[in-house]
Amino acid sequence: MKNLDLLVTLWPTFKHFERFANDSRLSGIRMNGAMIHLNELANDLKTAKKSGGQVPLFYDVKGRQLRVSEVRADKENLELRLNRPISVKTPTPVLFKAGEDSAILEKVVDGNYLIFKGGPHYMVYEGESLHIRDKSLKISGPILPEIEIKKTLIAKKEGIDKFFLSYVEDQRDIDNFREYVGDSQIVAKIENKKGLEYVSRQFKKKDNLSLMAACGDLFVEVDRPHHILDALKLIIKKDPEGYAGSRILLSLVNDSVPSFADLGHLGWLYEIGYRKLMLCDELCLKEELLGRAVNVFESFKESYVREEKPRKYGLEWLYGLKDSLCWN
């Protein structure tokens, strides 16, 4: 089999979970429990195990990520509660839906209750993430919220030994998480500038520890859109076994034929060294879309991906990195 792995995001209660849990073309299933209540988690994970699938299962733990824990939808202006306390100068823009929607934050009450002037165009739901890019933002509280610790322990008890950890910013994040998952495989999701600083200055490749360029959030969090390119190069340079996830093959949401840009994106990720790619939630929610994306990925893999052979040019030429990374 040619060396290129595909992971997808599914939840065990999806009707198409069992189909893809037994699809030999896949190398992993990420289970994102952000919007799952604690009392449902154990049964859902048992359902995943009962599917009889051979595709490895990963559970995604929300570390430092800001998430909505409560929404007041009956107000004229959006009001919500966060999963952890913050401080920030207001008014300031807040981004929702991976940067596709926004609203103006007018006031922060008691650290984690946010009051907006008006609201975003689309509904905001419990468990969703948001982005506050103002430099004055400070996030308080423990590295892992109590609810995430409880979910992690349930996943571990149900036999999960592969984890994604969101918004890793420091080696302490990994060390703290190890207290709950032991020597399980950890994929550290890099999703903001502090995460890139960790990659550049602290990360050391070890067994059962990999990096992921989590582009859904990382693209929103970098200062300028084009900075995502150097960020992707940095991550794969520091971890040749690293992953890239999200914003891949999104043209397939609305069209059965992938766009030129999407195919070029796949080719570029492969050329700079990525061999493990993960589709985002949007493509995976519907069986038809996911089947379409897996088929396109397999076609790309068979027609473009080469067997591993020495290249005629060096890695320095491919990456164009050397000492030019702005985070070094």
Higher-scoring residue by pLDDT: 275, 65: 275
Q: 161, 185 in Cβ contact below 8 A?
A: yes
In this predicted structure, the answer to whether residue 314 has a pLDDT above a threshold of 80 is no
d(CA 23, CA 244): 21
pLDDT band at 53 (very low <50, low <70, confident <90, very high): confident
Q: Which CATH class is domain 5-64+143-319?
A: alpha beta
- Annotated domain spans of the chain: 5-64+143-319, 68-134
pLDDT tens digit sequence for 10-50: 999 999 999 999 999 999 999 998 889 999 999 999 999 88
Q: Whose CA is closest to 60, among 214, 176, 238, 269?
A: 214
List all residues 6 or more positions away from 201 whose beta carbon is below 8 Å from its beta carbon: none
What is the structure's pLDDT at 316? 46
In this predicted structure, the answer to whether residue 52 has a pLDDT above a threshold of 90 is no
List all residues 6 or more positions away from 168 whose beta carbon is below 8 Å from its beta carbon: 63, 64, 174, 188, 189, 190, 191, 195, 198
The encoded tokens of residue 122 equal: 């689309």
User: Percent of the chain having pLDDT more than 70?
Assistant: 91
* CATH of span 68-134: 2.40.10
pLDDT tens digit sequence for 125-135: 988 889 999 99
Q: What is the CA radius of gyration of the chain?
A: 20
Q: What is the largest CA-CA distance in the chain?
A: 63
pLDDT tens digit sequence for 104-141: 999 999 999 999 998 888 899 988 889 999 999 998 88
**Taking CA 259 as the corner, what is the angle to CA 255 and CA 307, rounded to the nearest 5 degrees?**
120
d(CA 196, CA 235): 8
Output 33-41 pairs: Cβ under 8 A, ≥24 positions apart: 33/59, 33/60, 33/151, 33/155, 34/60, 34/62, 34/67, 34/127, 34/128, 34/129, 35/125, 35/126, 35/127, 35/128, 36/11, 36/127, 38/147, 38/150, 38/151, 38/154, 41/151, 41/154, 41/155
pLDDT tens digit sequence for 58-82: 999 998 889 898 998 666 789 999 9
What mean pLDDT value characterizes the chain?
90
pLDDT tens digit sequence for 211-230: 999 999 999 999 999 999 99
pLDDT band at 277 (very low <50, low <70, confident <90, very high): very high
**232-248 b/e (C-beta count within 10 Å ≥ 16 → b):** bbbbbbbbeebbbbbbb
Higher-scoring residue by pLDDT: 326, 55: 55
The pTM of this model reads 0.87
Q: What are phi and psi of 183, to 5 degrees?
A: -95, 20
The encoded tokens of residue 36 equal: 């799952």
The encoded tokens of residue 246 equal: 């999200």
